[in-house]
Amino acid sequence: MLRPLLTVSALEFRTRVRDRTALVIAIIVPVAMATLFGVALGGDDPPLRATVGFVDLDGGEFPAGVRREVMASTELDGVLTLRDLPGREQAQTALDAGDIGAAIVFPKGFSASVGAGEGGQVGVLTSADSPLAGVVANAVVDRISSLVRARTLAVRASLDAGIPAAEVKEFVERNGATGPALTLENDPMAGGKVDLSVYYGAGMAALFAFFVVGASFRSLLIERKQGTLDRMRAGPIHAWVPIAGKAVVGFALAMVSVCVTWASSVLIFGSTWGDPVAVFTLLLAHVLAATAITMLVASRARTDAQADGVIMVISFVAAFFGGSLVPLYNLPDLLQKIALFTPNAWTTTGLTGLAGSGAGLASVAAPIGVLCAIALAAFCLAAMGFRKGLLG
Amino acid sequence: MTNTLNCENLSKKYGDVVAVADVGFTIAPGEAYGLLGPNGAGKTTTISMLVGLLKPDTGTVVVGGTDLATDPMAAKAKIGYVPQEIALYPDLTGRENLRFFGRLFGLPRKELRGRIDEVLDLVGLADRADAKLDTYSGGMKRRINIGAALLHRPELLILDEPTVGVDPQSRKAILDGVERLVADGMALLYTSHYMEEVERICHRVAIIDHGAIVAEGTRHELVELVGGADRIELTLDGDVETAIAKLRGVGGVTEAARTAAGSVRLIAEGGRYLLPAIIATVDGIATVTAVEVVEPDLEATFLHLTGSTLRD
């Protein structure tokens, strides 16, 4: 059984290699598409750095306290740089010139107003050219607002309790905490933080695996048409040898395709897909599922053209619903549920999880299990289809 | 002597349609057996069951003493099957095609190399062996198509329409080669639309129609079935259908039918002596522009038994 299998596989491999389109479909196009998507839509997230103007028209203790807290914050270390500016107009000029990304303006009398329990308003200047700096500045101001509200409430409560106005300030500071360090609450990518070069690399790998392995099963139907399949089957070989021989080569070439796409993403973008063993195993499971699904199509198709068309449709539908073309978290809830029926969704989710978390093989056990289940079901249906059709 | 092929009671149905019904025959070593039948008669289904591509509903196939159902690998290894179409890889050279099919039959590498050279010599293509198949003429492809079935020295060679669409030179080369193989002791099952090929090569012939063998025997035995009837080919100009209807009423004419070429074919006892009556019958209906009288042959027998010509 092994020798005929190797003979069929060798011929299939040679034919695919001689046919330059195999090289194009397996390597050039997926790598090019992943690269283009990565360059156009993502690549590594830009580092979160912002220079924020600091306009202290108050000169009181509150702006000084904020400055101290910002400078002392470990979370803001290396992220936020404060640049002192004398007034609001100068801040606006610097903002327009791109020297700063945003500005925080403490109005005159701010500290006194807060100290008297009357609250206060901090101004924020932002620019559409520097959205991240605006987010950082607003996050700082939000935190300030919390402190101001807390201080105002404490002062009012103290006054209502009969504390003399002259002693309220000392009373509040003696009994009130200074509050936690400033934190950035408005992370712009919270909940969906991914490296898009990894995301689209995984997507293209998942999509093109179908095309690569599908080409082998298409050639099986071409062989049926040209009579070589029957000629093989009339020889002393097991009926499954021609199918298995094609499947082995399609599977191997698809593995090469996904691994090259993975390697190119790492080399071009410097991306990290995560634990190599976990990534490889997940890709292996995906290619197995793609092999089984395309085999199922070939087992039911009447002609190679019909198989080609169906594989194309299945590949793109699975790619769309599975998040290979549009990030899954951008899809509506219903479509995200539909995505669970596609191997692409499990592969893409698994790969982006690995890239984001640095977890190992155990963390993608569920996606691998689902992909293997899809493969098993499709293999069984394909076997039944071949028994009734091609091998009937 | 043990028969190389022994098939009995082969039947195959597709739903309610009977493709093959109770077909059986034997072929001895060194014997050429012809299987004749019009399109759709069941020839291809029968061959598909003989080479293991189709599982028969009933019946047995034994090749060289090995039952195809119980030991298909061993039985298939004794068969060389040449399908009607050019079942080869156009992107490979002639030699590469032979190497591929030789390996499938499990020939060791060294032996295969020698066998490929022998087969290339046999089919007369040694000088074109390393050219891609898609540069070959139709006849050359046919010869490689046959060569691919000979590499493993089969006991039984099955040729399904091996000379369709080939030039006279290639046809002669193929027929000469096949005759040599049979003379060397190989059993042959041969189907063809060309009656003269079957008459030249085959020792025995079976005529199959509507899935069943309707006659079997040597050429002489089959011709005897239509007695001493002559075959008369008339070329008519005019109302041919009316003429055929009238001709069926002429005494001694047992068959009258229009051929695919448009002429009228008659089977008539002592036909050559009926020519005046035949011409008189069609007078005023059609004009006789050509007449050919052929003594009894396999073609006449086929027409007599199946009601159609082989190429219809």
> Collapsing DSSP states into helix, strand and coil, what is residue B227?
coil
Residues 6+ apart with CB under 8 A from B73: A236, A237
Contact B208, B37 (CB under 8 A): yes
Q: Which residues of A316-340 are buried (b: 16+ CB within 10 A; e: fewer)?
A: eebbbbbbbbebbeebeeeeeebbe
What does the alpha-carbon distance between residue B14 and residue B20 come to, in Å, rounded to a whole number?
Answer: 10
**Average pLDDT over every residue of B272-279:** 86
Q: Out of A15, A234, A237, whose CB is closest to B81?
A: A234
User: Considering the domain boundaries, does residue A168 fall inside one?
Assistant: yes
Q: How far apart are the first and last CA of chain B?
A: 38
Q: Which residues of A touch B (CB under 8 A)?
A: 3-4, 7-8, 11, 15, 18, 226-228, 230-237
Write out pLDDT tens, residues B53-99. Answer: 999 999 999 999 999 999 999 999 999 999 989 999 999 999 999 99
User: Considering the domain boundaries, does residue A189 fall inside one?
Assistant: no
Examine the domain organization and report whether A90 and A8 are in the same domain: no
Examine the domain organization and report whether A149 and A247 are in the same domain: no
Examine the domain organization and report whether A210 and A342 are in the same domain: yes
CB contact residues (below 8 A), chain B span 65-104, against chain A: 72-74, 76-77, 79, 81, 83, 85-89, 91, 100-101, 103-104
Examine the domain organization and report whether A311 and A291 are in the same domain: yes
Q: Which of A158-162, A376-380, B195-199 has the lowest mean pLDDT?
A: A158-162
Examine the domain organization and report whether A164 and A247 are in the same domain: no
What does the alpha-carbon distance between residue A163 and residue A161 come to, in Å, rounded to a whole number?
Answer: 6
Range of the domain at A298: 1-41+195-390
Examine the domain organization and report whether A239 and A325 are in the same domain: yes
Q: What's phi and psi for A237, nearest 5 deg?
A: -130, 155
Examine the domain organization and report whether A205 and A71 are in the same domain: no
Sheet containing B17-27: order of strands: B17-27, B5-14, B58-63, B66-67
Q: Which residue among A147, A175, A203 closes a domain?
A: A175
What does the alpha-carbon distance between residue A279 and residue A347 come to, in Å, rounded to a whole number?
Answer: 9
Place of tokens 């004749």: B36
Strands (E), B173-280: 187-191, 204-209, 212-217, 229-238, 253-258, 264-269
Examine the domain organization and report whether A78 and A133 are in the same domain: yes
User: Considering the domain boundaries, does residue A186 fall inside one?
Assistant: no
Say if the Cβ atoms of A3 and B106 lie within 8 Å. Answer: yes
- Return the pLDDT at A168: 67
What does the alpha-carbon distance between residue A217 and residue A95 come to, in Å, rounded to a whole number?
Answer: 61
Contact B56, B211 (CB under 8 A): no
Examine the domain organization and report whether A118 and A136 are in the same domain: yes
- Return the pLDDT at A180: 38
- Return the pLDDT at A256: 92
Place of tokens 């179409």: B85
Looking at the structure of chain A, the number of domains it has is 2
Write out pLDDT tens, residues A86-134. Answer: 998 999 888 888 888 888 888 888 888 877 777 778 888 877 666 567 7
Examine the domain organization and report whether A30 and A99 are in the same domain: no
User: Considering the domain boundaries, does residue A180 fall inside one?
Assistant: no
CA distances from A17 to A6, A21, A202, A251, B241 (A): 16, 8, 24, 14, 60
CATH number, domain containing residue A109: 3.40.1710
What does the alpha-carbon distance between residue A243 and residue A241 come to, in Å, rounded to a whole number?
Answer: 5
Examine the domain organization and report whether A2 and A62 are in the same domain: no
What does the alpha-carbon distance between residue A2 and residue A4 come to, in Å, rounded to a whole number?
Answer: 6
Q: Which residue among A145, A175, A205 closes a domain?
A: A175
Token pair, residue B293, equals 């009288």
Q: Which residues of A touch B104 (CB under 8 A)?
A: 4, 7-8, 232, 235-237
- Return the pLDDT at A376: 97
User: Considering the domain boundaries, does residue A183 fall inside one?
Assistant: no
Say if the Cβ atoms of B83 and A3 lie within 8 Å. Answer: no
Contact B189, B46 (CB under 8 A): no
Q: Which residue among A175, A208, A229 closes a domain?
A: A175
User: Considering the domain boundaries, does residue A374 fall inside one?
Assistant: yes
Say if the Cβ atoms of A4 and B106 lie within 8 Å. Answer: yes
Write out pLDDT tens, residues A268-324. Answer: 877 788 889 999 999 999 999 999 999 999 999 988 899 989 999 999 999 888 888
What does the alpha-carbon distance between residue A177 and residue A291 come to, in Å, rounded to a whole number?
Answer: 63
Examine the domain organization and report whether A64 and A35 are in the same domain: no
Residues 6+ apart with CB under 8 A from B26: B3, B5, B6, B7
Token pair, residue A334, equals 């219903």
- Return the pLDDT at B66: 94
Q: Which residues of A touch B73 (CB under 8 A)?
A: 236-237
User: Considering the domain boundaries, does residue A108 fall inside one?
Assistant: yes
Write out pLDDT tens, residues A45-93. Answer: 444 567 888 998 988 877 887 787 777 776 667 677 888 899 989 998 8
Q: What is the pTM of this model?
A: 0.69
User: Considering the domain boundaries, does residue A1 fall inside one?
Assistant: yes
Q: Touching check for B154 and chain A: CB below 8 Å?
A: no
